[in-house]
Structure 1
Amino acid sequence: MNTFQDLGLNDDLLHAITDLGFTTPSEVQTKAIPILLESDTDLVALAQTGTGKTAAFGFPMLHKINVDSRTTQGLILSPTRELCLQITNEMKLYGKYYKGLNVVAVYGGSSITDQAREVKKGAQIIVATPGRMKDMINRKLVDISKIEYAVLDEADEMLNMGFKEDITDILSFTPQEKNTWLFSATMPREVAAIAKNFMRKPQEITVGNKNESTNQVSHEYYLVNSRDRYDALKRLADANPDIFSVVFCRTKNDTQKVAERLIEDGYSAGALHGDLSQNQRDLVMNSFRKNQIQMLVATDVAARGIDVDDITHVINYQLPDEIETYTHRSGRTGRAGKTGVSMVIVSKSEVRKIKSIERIINKAFQKKDIPDGMEICEVQLMSLANKIHNTAINPEIEKYLSSINELFEDTSKEELIKKFFSVEFTRFFNYYQKSKNLNVSDADFRDRDGARDGGREFKGGSDSTRYFINVGSKDGFDWMKLKDFLKEVLELGRDDVFKVEVKDSFSFFNTENELKDKVLAFFTDYKHEGRFVNVEVSENRGGGGKRSDRFSGGKRERRSDDRRSGSRGDSGNRPDRRSSSDAKPRRSGDFKPNTNGAPNRAARRAGGNFKPTDSAISKPRRSRR
């Protein structure tokens, strides 16, 4: 089947498809649409992000519903507000020739009363996030007892976000005889369980192999020290002058901080995470779609609503907790037949994860080096030269040429070119001429089979320090919470703290040796919830067991009160990236203060308890393009 007409869709849908400029159905559409049109069946469809899954379930649903009825016949559940709105808009475009069609978006962050009013008018199709949908059901504001079609879109992500209970409750209000269509990029055990428990002999289609990455995306990784992660990000951006990217961080706090630092350093950046209001998120996304933001820093959850086909790079500033999530991230680029690059910045402790991801996506990573300063200067210079060479001449400049020619009448062509390009070249040269090499060799991190392995667990701990800390599970910590706590208070990268082991009343953790002085100095006379937190060097190497009574140097080491030690490397005054040709400032979106419970520094110095603190908010600056 090479055309949409071959799939059996009705004339109204084909007319809309022509208006949208669609010519050839994608593989998932070719496989799913005939099945859903020809039979009443449940379906599990596995396909990468960006392969046209919305149309794969949207066209059959619109084809089958009775638009003359005001009863809700179709329910589509999606993980995020952005994706919910995206699906709603696409369904309206697909059904533009269906007179009386009402597709309503139901999501948090907007008036539930207004949404209920729209549903009451007669919504044949509701597109909803699980949390808001469950709320509306409990308030008896919607009736889904007669739906005929239920779609679980991005099912794996909904389960990762903890919506399993909500989905179960929502489906309990739907009729048993409905058809359930499950669409997912990956097939973890939880998704398989949903299919088993809520579907009746579902047919299954797979585009590519399960969890496999699209062939349109190449995969690269860059090995650096954790403390150099941000500087590596900047160099990758500078080495790709026309970058249009999504930068993924693990947490909302990291997302906000990275975006703010990029803006401070003159990059066209914006943040997208769950702490932003709906209006702020809309502003950021609108700026990104208009290419006014070149580097969108996002969490995995917030990025699920990004539907932009021209993204050139995905940069994994930090790898996700769930390795399968990498498939979703890399699927943000290489869409609509275009090619893209997925870059991963890793520290030594994460190299082993690259091999795990390779097995899941069935693609090999290429190890590359962070470019040095002179390479970046050359790239930037040639980028400017190509832009000038390809620039169309504005006829309005003619009236100024006589004055310009007079100014340069004694300047040779060669000298004029040198002067012109030195304006751009000098800024980058001055910034990068003394920059250090950020690359780390992985020659020492190979396992017995010859595979790269950067896991600190396999190195016997010789390059790291093990600590005892007198808090444990009785204080409300598990290993993840303790790791996040240490990362926040010490202002470390996520991978700087590892081998965390939590006991009832005490715990252990590791850092690299070079961080030992900083860790011990910080926890001198430090209080948490009214009592002192004691951190000491331990001989426990990570295998459990007792705390050692022998400390470094025979006693606990104490250092100065410089609790903010450590260099930011390249993150100082970077060259002003605003070109003199910029016509107007570009907006990078509004940011909401982040109150994630990080310790208030004034209170900390005074030995007080934890208090939420607002992060600094950077004002957007004019960007370069």
Structure 2
Amino acid sequence: MSTFQNLGLNKDLLQAISDLGFTTPSEVQEKAIPVLLQSETDLVALAQTGTGKTAAFGFPMLQKIDINSRTTQGLILSPTRELCLQITNEMKLYGKYCKGLNVVAIYGGASITEQAREVKRGAQIIVATPGRMKDMISRQMVDISKIQFSVLDEADEMLNMGFKEDITDILSYTPQDKSTWLFSATMPNEVASIAKNFMYNPQEITVGNKNESTAQVSHEYYLVNSRDRYLALKRLADANPDIFSVVFCRTKRDTQKVAEKLIEDGYNAGALHGDLSQNQRDLVMKAFRNNQIQMLVATDVAARGIDVDDITHVINYQLPDEIETYTHRSGRTGRAGKTGVSMVIVSKSEVRKIKSIERIIKKQFLKKDLPNGMDICEVQLMSLANKVHHTEVNHDIDNYLGKINTLFEDTTKDELIKKFFSVEFSRFYNYYQKAPDLNVSDSQGAGSHDTDDSVRYFINVGRKDGFDWMQLKDFLRAILELGQDDLFKVETKDSFSFFNTEKALKEKVLNFFTDFKHNGRFVNVEVSENRGSGKRRDRKRNGSKRSDKRSGSKNRAERRHSGGKSKSRRSKSNDFAASRPRRSRR
């Protein structure tokens, strides 16, 4: 069995390892540390979240830098403030016996002058987010021209967040003969490109297979109607009374909305997303680490800094845009040798994504049914019974036993037990006794909503206006104030597009687009008579007219599709595309 002593670490680091209670190195540590200690090499290490990557590059960097020098010798780039602070704290713990060590965190949301002051005091190692680091370089507040080691931690996520240009600029200020160590959970093309352009003949270490999920995590999915997604989330929480989870949403708006609904319904929940101030994020994370929050609803970006080993469940309230991101999400649980569960709530239109994820993570999903109301009542009742059974007696109650016994002197043991547990059981029973079955059968075919319950619309914007299907979906959701699942089957053509909503939203959609203009240009939306097809012939343009009021915009739309587009019309089209809301970074 390998030990840290066998890896070649010095006495100071081994003492810190002993204080931290580490006994045996993880696989990525066992593979990476000897390589980085024994040679001046570039390295690409692929390993899942929670496998000890910080120690894998942290210990070698601490052993190889010159503590007696005040020159900055190591630079670690990470995608988020939370992860930046986490790495900084861990590096300080690892180097607690390295007298004179100064590790400084540089990140947005804090005083830039104070951070510059800390660097000037002599920081051998800087841990930074790319945006703030680039800003401080441009202001000449930091000097990284003499660094010997650069680390790109969570490289795939940094590139996914749009930091490629920032990373390129930052690395241009570093010496060419430095060692670059790239650590990532997945290896998309963008990460491979960074390795090719900024590293020389790097060694590669892979823990497990590329993009593969850890063996400690099981994967489940629950098929429901999209309108029942939140109810399904509540049932999963109620069916697991001791849940300690991260719930992932795709956008900041949905994250805040779901967290607020959970809190209103009495759950210990909190939101974590980019619109929160640093102080708010710190308070939420502190409450989560102290188990005051059982369900942390988060975006993918904000969750990068979550370093909690006891998370029991990851719940994918919505699947991510990029399938590879699922690997990061599921890696939040099953850490430090523990087991965990990754749950996915999906509608029929998303089942095909499950198959794609299975191919990437090389793990099978188990399709499970949501428990019914009475099953949940039984789980909650037995959970309470176990808590009562294992509760340590507080003998301060002894002084009141006489009055309590007098109150229940005519009550049998069974009656007393029933009364006691009914206090909690009745709450769940009253809620669930008539609760409907939320499960949906996939025998009717996955990949589509029930067309009998939806309306298909035509809209006179498309790819020529700068939209792909996801950008158009985000734009329509924003202006119509719809939820993630309220708008689906979005299909973009060159100059027009189609989308669906449930029938209940038809009036809202059509009323909103009555004489709707954007930057002076009419945007026309009509019901498409053949909802099942995206072909142009399905728009029978001479069908029933909704109102005389809409006829002007309809005629303009028809002229738009007749093939003759004037210069002024093209100009307005370009203005519209340029002014559409940009998708927020995840």
Q: Quick check: 1:501 aligned with 2:476?
A: no
Amino acid at match of 1:185: A
Deviations 1:345-379 (A, max 9, x none): 00110000001111111111001111111111111
- For the 8 Å contact 1:227–1:493, the answer to whether it is kept is no
CA distance in 1, matches of 2:404, 2:293: 34
| Matched-pair contact (CA < 8 Å) for 1:155–1:182 | yes
Match of 1:571 in 2: none
RMSD, aligned α-carbons = 2.2
Pair 542,201 (structure 1): closer, same or farther in 2 beyond 3 Å: farther
Partner of 2:510: 520
Q: Is 1:456 aligned to residue 422 of structure 2?
A: no
CA 1:475/1:358 → structure 2, altered by over 3 Å: closer, same or farther? Answer: closer
Q: Offset at 1:92?
A: 0.2
Q: AA paired with 1:288?
A: F
Amino acid in structure 2 at the alignment position of 1:441: S
Q: What is the CA–CA distance in structure 1 between the aligned matches of 2:283 and 2:541, rounded to whole Å?
A: 56
1:11 matched to which residue of 2? 11
1:516 Cα deviation (Å)? 4.2
Q: Alpha carbons of 1:534 and 1:123: their partners in 2 closer, same or farther (altered >3 Å)? A: same
Letter in 1 for 2:490: V
**Counterpart residue type for residue 359 of structure 2:** R
- The within-5 A match list for 1:14-413 is 14-413=14-413
Secondary structure in structure 2 of the residue aligned to 1:63: helix
Alignment gaps of 5+ in structure 1: 446-453, 559-609, 613-625
Name the aligned partner's letter for residue 467 of structure 1.
Answer: Y
CA drift of 1:20 comes to 0.4
What is the deviation of 1:521?
A: 5.0
Counterpart in the other structure of 1:563 = none
Quote the residue 1:595 is aligned against. Answer: none
Correspondent of 1:484 among 474, 497, 500: 474
Q: What letter corresponds to residue 42 of structure 2 in structure 1? A: D
- The aligned runs of 1:590-605 (5 Å cut-off) are none
Of the structure 1 ranges 293-302 and 484-493, higher mean CA displacement relative to structure 2 is found in: 484-493
Does structure 2 conserve the Cα–Cα contact (< 8 Å) formed by 1:471 and 1:533? yes
Residues 61-82 of structure 1: CA distance to partner in whole angstroms, max 9, x if unpaired?
Answer: 0010000001110000000000
> 1:547-567: CA deviations, max 9, x gaps?
713587x34499xxxxxxxxx
Query: Partners of 2:343 and 2:265 in 1: how far apart?
Result: 21
Distance 2:422 2:251 in 1: 40
The alignment status of 1:549 with 2:540, answered yes or no, reads yes
- Measured in 2, the distance between the counterparts of 1:111 and 1:401 equals 58
CA distance in 1, matches of 2:520, 2:260: 32
**Secondary structure at 1:151's aligned position in 2?**
strand
3-state SS, counterpart of residue 166 of structure 2: helix
- Secondary structure at the aligned position of 1:158 is classed as helix
Overall identity of the aligned pairs, in %: 81
In structure 1, how many angstroms separate the alpha carbons of the residues matched to 2:313 and 2:207?
A: 23
Q: Secondary structure at the match of 1:176?
A: coil
In structure 2, the partner of 1:439 is 439
Q: State the SS of the aligned residue for 1:355.
A: helix
What is the CA distance between 1:535 and its match in structure 2? 1.9
Q: CA shift at 1:122, angstroms?
A: 0.6
Q: 1:532 to 1:408 in 2, by over 3 A?
A: farther
TM-score, normalization: structure 1? 0.84
Whole-angstrom distance in 1 between the partners of 2:507 and 2:439: 24
User: Once the two structures are superposed, what CA deviation does each residue of 1:283-318 show, in whole Å capped at 9, x if it has no partner?
Assistant: 000000000011000000000000000001000000
Residues paired across the two proteins, number? 550
Secondary structure class of the residue paired with 2:152? strand
Deviations 1:564-590 (A, max 9, x none): xxxxxxxxxxxxxxxxxxxxxxxxxxx
- SS, match of residue 536 in structure 2: coil
Aligned-partner SS, 1:110: coil
Which one-letter code corresponds to 1:50 in the other structure?
A: G
* Counterpart Cα distance in 2 of 1:109 and 1:542: 48
- 1:17 maps to amino acid: I
Per residue, is there more helix in 1 or in 2?
2
1:525 CA displacement: 5.6
Cα distance in 1 between the residues matched to 2:114 and 2:230: 43
Q: State the 1:421 CA deviation.
A: 0.6
Structure 2 gap segments, 5+ residues each: 549-578, 582-586
Q: Distance in 2 between matches of 1:504 and 1:342?
A: 39
Query: In the TM superposition, what is the alpha-carbon distance from 1:496 to its structure 2 partner?
Result: 3.8
Deviates more, 1:513-522 or 1:501-510: 513-522
Corresponding residue SS for 1:456: coil
Structure 2 distance, partners of 1:473, 1:200, is 40
Q: CA deviation at 1:173?
A: 0.6
In the TM superposition, residue 520 of structure 1 has moved relative to its aligned partner by 3.5
CA distance in 2, matches of 1:231, 1:518: 24
Deviates more, 1:506-515 or 1:292-301: 506-515
- d(CA) in 2 for partners of 1:213 and 1:175? 36
- What residue identity is the alignment partner of 1:226? S
Partner of 1:422: 422
Partner-residue secondary structure (3-state), 1:467:
strand
